[in-house]
Amino acid sequence: MLIQPIDYFLVVWFALALASTLYVGFDQYRNNPEPVVMKWGFILVTLYMGPLGLLLYVLADKEPRPGEHEAFTGPLWKQGVGSTIHCVAGDATGIILAAAITAALGLPMWIDLIVEYLAGFAFGLFIFQSLFMKSMMGGTYWENVRKSFLPEFISMNFMMAGMAPVMSFLMMGRDMRAMEPTELLFWGVMSIGVIAGFALAYPANVWLVARGLKHGLMTQRAQAAGIDARVQPATRQHAQMQMQQADASAHRGQRHDMASHKGKGGGHHMETDATTPQIAALSVVSLLALAIGMIAPANWLHLTLSARD
């Protein structure tokens, strides 16, 4: 029901989100040469973030002209966008599903936040990272779970640190309709929360990609009918070279030399130069950010309340 002016804004926002999502989905499968997991990553994030997701796709990932995706996606800031997209697509999906279920069950807000964190982390780690990336990473499923755990943990902490206070303050504010999944306002809060989570998780993802701990954007082109596609991960070293060189054609040639070709049972194995103290420090900071985002709203809000109260 359209009661407040914000309701009319949300109708327009979600109409734009739907149109943006349809465009990204159509363009990804028709024109953009990248793995399916990244196609769906951009589709889901655009659904959640609306026109902002479309903007990220056009600026960082959409191939400007045929044959230029490798060079176009090379800069480190774009690789960070790709890594964050992959994180948010999985984590936010789990968070939103959990939020809808816990709200429908009438659980208190503090339980809601904990369940959302666990669901988002599990969905992102076990499905989007370890399962959907298995064919490109190589190795067994559980090996990928082990390798992905720490980067996903760090990224998820920052994302939830951004989402949690947004959901707490907006859901428990003046308009309690925001706590009901049947209301448009609820989904508007989810959208704002995902945007905040993306913004807070992005810097950490740039560092994780730069240190070889996470994948960024990749290019996948079909070489010929019946032949495996070539998957070209954008590595840390190559992203740095792209930032230093102005000649796109020379950059493209170097990327082809550095790209790995996925064979049967193979995959792309990243090597990191990150030190243990660096990783530990970032992990601790991510936990502090998460704690602040989850707990600080309790100073102003009654997180023991639910949608039924």
pLDDT in tens, the chain (309 residues): 677 889 999 999 999 999 999 999 999 999 999 999 999 999 999 999 999 999 999 999 999 999 999 999 999 999 999 999 999 999 999 999 999 999 989 899 999 999 999 999 999 999 988 888 777 777 788 988 999 999 999 999 999 999 999 999 999 888 888 899 999 999 999 999 999 999 999 999 999 999 999 999 999 987 644 444 445 554 443 444 444 333 333 333 333 333 333 333 344 556 889 999 999 999 999 999 999 999 999 999 999 988 776
Q: Which letter, b or e, does each residue of 122-154 get, where b requires 16 or more Cβ atoms within 10 Å of its Cβ?
A: ebbbbebbbebbbebbbeeeeebbebbebbbbb
Angle of CA points 73, 78, 81, to nearest 5°: 130
Q: What is the pLDDT of residue 268?
A: 54
User: In this structure, what are the phi and psi dihedrals at residue 106, rounded to the nearest 5 degrees?
Assistant: 75, 30
pTM for the model stands at 0.85
Inter-residue contact 169 to 192 (CB < 8 Å) = no
First to last CA, the chain: 21
